[in-house]
Amino acid sequence: MTSAETPTETAVAVAVAVCQFAPTSSRRDNLQRIAVLTAEAASRGARLVVFPEYSSYFVDPMDESLPANAETLDGEFVTTLTALAAEHGLVIVAGLAEQASDADRVRNTLVAVRGDGILATYRKQHLYDAFGQTESDWVQAGELGDASTFEVAGIRFGLMTCYDLRFPEVARTLVDAGADALVVPAEWVRGPLKEHHWTTLLAARAIENTAYVIAADHPTPIGVGHSQIVDPQGVVLAGVGVAEGIAVGAVERATIERVRATNPSLRVRRYRVVPR
C-alpha cells in the first residue's frame, strides 16, 4: 500500500462523484464506460470520481478468466485512468483485478490516480468468504500495513473495499491516519437484507468516525446499487438508486470540523486498533 499527496492547494469544499455501473468481461467496454462517466462527472464539477470494485473486469460467478484478465499497475487500465484524470483535471478511484504472486489468483486492488500518476493503492484485506461466497478461491488478500490515503485540495481520503465495510477497524485505521473521508468501491452482492446492511454500515462508519463516506457499488441485478455520499453525521447527501447513474456531492472542511467539535468521539475514545 502506498500514499501520496496532491499539491498544497486547499479548498473550502471538494465536489466528489460516485459512478455506479456494471463492469463486464469486456475490458475495452469497461474502459469506454468509465470514460463516458468520468466526462459526465467532470461536467458536473467533480474533482474526485469514484468507481466500483472490479471496474477493470468482472464475471459472476468468478472463474479462471479473472486471473487471465488481471493487469499490472502499469497496464492498460491504470494507464487509461491516468490519461482520463489528466484530460479532465481530477482524481479517479477505481477497482481492478491486479496480477498476484499466485498465478491462479488476483489481487482485489484499488488505485487512486491523478494526471501525473498513482496517488495511492489499496489491496483488499478482508475477502468475501460469507453469505455463501468464497472470494478467497480467486483473490489473494492484501497485506496489513500503512493506511492508504491521498489528498485532494487539502482534504484527505482513505481507501477501503466492499466487505471491509463490515470491519470497523479498517475505517478507524484510516481516520487515525488523518482521513477526513472514507472511499468505498464495492460489489455488494444482493441477498436477503443486504441493501439494509449496506446502507446501515455506510451510515455507521460515517457516524462513528465523524467522516464522510463515499461509496460506489454495482447496480442490480448483481449488486444492490444505492451508491451514496454520506456526511459525518450519517446523512445521505446524494445517491443513486438501483440502476446505473452518477451522484455528486460536496465534502466540506467546515462540516468535518464542526461535527468533530460537537462530537469529539475520536478524541475521547480509550482504545486503539492493532493488527491481529
Q: Return the domain boundaries, the chain.
A: 13-263
Cα dihedral 104, 108, 113, 117 sign: negative
What pLDDT, on the 0 to 100 scale, is given for residue 5?
A: 41
- Does the annotation count 53 as an active-site position? yes
Residues 6+ apart with CB under 8 A from 6: 91, 114, 119, 150, 151, 152, 153
Distance of alpha carbon 247 from alpha carbon 17, whole angstroms: 6
**φ, ψ for residue 214 (rounded to 5)?**
-120, 105
Residue 1 has pLDDT above 70, yes or no: no
Fold of 13-263: Nitrilase/N-carbamoyl-D-aminoacid amidohydrolase (3.60.110)
The catalytic position among 19, 71, 98, 124 is: 124
The catalytic position among 19, 98, 135, 162 is: 162
Q: Alpha carbon of 271 to those of 168, 173, 234: distances in Å? A: 13, 12, 23
Closest CA to 25 of 59, 72, 64, 71: 59
The catalytic position among 19, 53, 71, 135 is: 53
Distance of alpha carbon 77 from alpha carbon 41, whole angstroms: 19
- Does the annotation count 194 as an active-site position? no
10 Å CB burial of residue 143 (0-12, 13-18, 19+) is exposed
Give the model confidence (pLDDT) of 147-167 as tens digits. 999 999 999 999 999 999 999
Residue 181 has pLDDT above 90, yes or no: yes
Residues 48 and 276: beta-carbon distance below 8 Å: no
3 vs 183, which has greater pLDDT? 183
In this prediction, residue 12 has a pLDDT band, given cuts at 50, 70 and 90, of confident
Distance of alpha carbon 10 from alpha carbon 172, whole angstroms: 24
Residues 6+ apart with CB under 8 A from 194: 131, 188, 224
Give the model confidence (pLDDT) of 75-114 as tens digits. 999 999 999 999 999 999 999 999 999 999 999 999 999 9
Per the structure block, which three cell numbers stand in for 91?
482524481
- Does the annotation count 19 as an active-site position? no
Residue reference for cell 490515503 = 149
Give the model confidence (pLDDT) of 214-260 as tens digits. 999 999 999 999 999 999 999 999 999 999 999 999 999 999 999 99
Residue 7 has pLDDT above 50, yes or no: no
Structure pTM?
0.95
In this prediction, residue 9 has a pLDDT band, given cuts at 50, 70 and 90, of low
